[in-house]
A and B are shown apart, each in its own frame.
Chain A
Amino acid sequence: MSRHGGLWRDALHRLAANRLALASLAILVLMTAAASLGPLLLDYRQDEIDWAHMAAAPFSAEGHWLGTDRLGRDLLVRTLHGLRVSMGIALLATLVSLAIGVTWGAVAGYLRGRTDALMMRFVDVLYALPQVFFVIILTVVFGRSPATLLVAIGAFGWLTMARIVRGQALALREREFVDAAIVGGAGTARIVARHIIPNLLGPVIVYATLTVPQVILVESFLSFLGIGIQEPLASLGNLIADGATEMETATWMLVVPAGCLVLLVFCFNFLGDGLRDALDPRDH
């Protein structure tokens, strides 16, 4: 199958052939750029009140492309800020769960035996907990700040990753190159770091891509309920909650952030599926 060799190159070709995944990637790049640069380029700040244009419809008031909310704050700017917060938390929480999950799973899968059983039993117990509810307890206990959300979501996010990595590691350690490394005198740490983890990258990347939208959904769920990101900071969740209370008179206040969230989640899911198809050669 591989003419020019290499899993990654083949994967890239397969991904390039998947138009849905590519389009999603393009949209995500655009959204990231808009979220990081947009607020700098636009004329309004996220908490700036335009007394002359309150609850203005999209395109009706000069300078407010997507209209304003009932306090006269620019909706485009607020949505971009919300996007920034939601994506920022999602990416950081995914990194946290990546770091913990990959290490945990790789060590358990490589060491096997009693250590493995003990480590995975711990994962099983945490897995059985209703995670969203424990995230709620954590936000109640430690206050409703972005940092709490990040830690609380990251604290549960790594479990599936650890399971996936452990399963892969169990299979990988039976392979010849691990024997070769042992014969070559490599220690456990070196084998895990240099031989096991690099070979795990495929499934890890796929699952990480699929973790991001899940984190976004949990964060916006909590922010929607008022337990997550707090006003005046914008997040997609609290913008949607705001929009829901105003939808009778100002539908755009609901449509803009909701559409943004749905687009974001769709794109991450399609990209994740595309990556899975690209990196898992068994189906081809």
Chain B
Amino acid sequence: MLAYIARRLLGAIPTLAVIVTLSFAMTRLAPGGPFDEEQALPPEIRANLEVAYGLDQPVTVQFGRYLAGLLHGDFGPSYKFRDFTVTELISSGLPVSLAIGAAAILLAIAVGIPAGIFAALRQDRIADRVMMALAVAGISVPVFVIAPFLALVFGIWLHWLPVAGWAPGRPGDLVLPVVTLALPVIAYLARLTRGSLLEVMRAPWIRAARARGLPQHRILLVHALPAALLPVVSYLGPAVAAVLTGSLVVETIFGLPGMGRHLVQGALNRDYTLVMGMVIVYATMMIALNLAADLIYAWLDPRIRRERRP
């Protein structure tokens, strides 16, 4: 198990290196420089700007400086928000994004898995059919359609929840964003849990448990669920990716001051350093959380847990 963890941690390093190198290379490949869009600058000012941002140096030196900065948690200055560094923007947005992301994942687990179990127990009855039709809808309908409709129904028509905005100490503001982010994951988890549980219920050891006359709830909880939930755990990595991607939309629609909105603003302003820094942070989060999900999976699966050698 320890060897497995070490191997996975080491495996993440090259991926991170590729991400940083690729993001850097892509922004330097760009036709023109970061100051091109403004009115044609006098050459002296332009030269001064380039010196100030270190752009007069050879690309290798720039990359070295950027890497050295990254290791200190310094993502460089934002090209467009002149008064802020990228690090400041990230650290102001990260807590908001993490809070709604974590809440959405927890909500999805709390609702999706029980819903899937329920549907499996009622296989092919009306409740199952309805739930699975809803699940297909939840998977196919993108977040940027769900979000405005929820805002329309619960915010504008019913007046139950605020449509947009955010202030500390107003938890009601976060309900719609979190639910929006959670819905597709709930749908996917429910379908996955149902399918996996139905498959496990046909396994020989479940029939053996039935033959021994064990009560239904014991068969379900002790014998079937642990095995059935393994594929569900392995979906948590992709789920994190879905939530992080969805948070771009949700933060934009509901006006939350998270990282996603900074990234979208940066992309609209063609703010290279901001976009690059944000993408690196998002990618790192995805890799780290994916790794965490895989480790949980390995820990839960005795076949991997007891593995001595890779």
Contact = CB atoms under 8 A, between A and B. Distances in A.
Interface of A: 125, 128-130, 132-134, 136-142, 213, 217, 220-221, 224-227, 237, 240-241, 243-244, 247-248, 251, 254, 258, 261-262, 265-266, 269
Interface stretch (B56-64, B194-202, B214-222, B268-276): B268-276
Contacts, number: 110
A129 B253 contact: no
Interface string B185-225: 00000000000000000000000000000000000000000
Given A129-B18, A130-B286, A225-B252, A142 B30 contact: yes
B145 A262 contact: yes
Contacts of A220: 142, 144
Contacts of B252: 225
In the A-B complex, list the 10 residue pairs whose CB atoms are closest, starting with the nearest: A244-B148, A141-B30, A224-B144, A128-B15, A133-B279, A258-B145, A227-B267, A130-B283, A247-B152, A140-B267
B156 interface: yes
A266 B140 contact: yes
Given A130-B286, A240-B148, A137 B23 contact: yes
Contacts of B147: 244
B139 to A, nearest CB: 8
B15 A254 contact: no
A141 to B, nearest CB: 4
A164 B268 CA distance: 36
A79 to B, nearest CB: 14
Contacts of A261: 142, 145
Interface stretch (B111-119, B241-249, B298-306): B241-249
Given A125-B18, A217-B142, A224-B144, A139 B267 contact: yes
Q: Tell me the interface secondary structure of chain A in the complex.
A: helix
Most-contacted residue by chain A among B27, B147, B148, B271 (CB, 10 A): B148
A183 B29 CA distance: 49
Nearest to B144: A224
B134 interface: no
A237 B30 CA distance: 26
17 contacts: A128-B15, A129-B15, A133-B279, A133-B283, A136-B267, A136-B275, A137-B26, A140-B275, A141-B26, A142-B31, A225-B144, A225-B267, A226-B264, A226-B268, A227-B267, A240-B145, A265-B142
Nearest to A213: B140
B127 interface: no
Interface in B133-156: 140-142, 144-145, 147-149, 151-152, 156
A251 B152 contact: yes
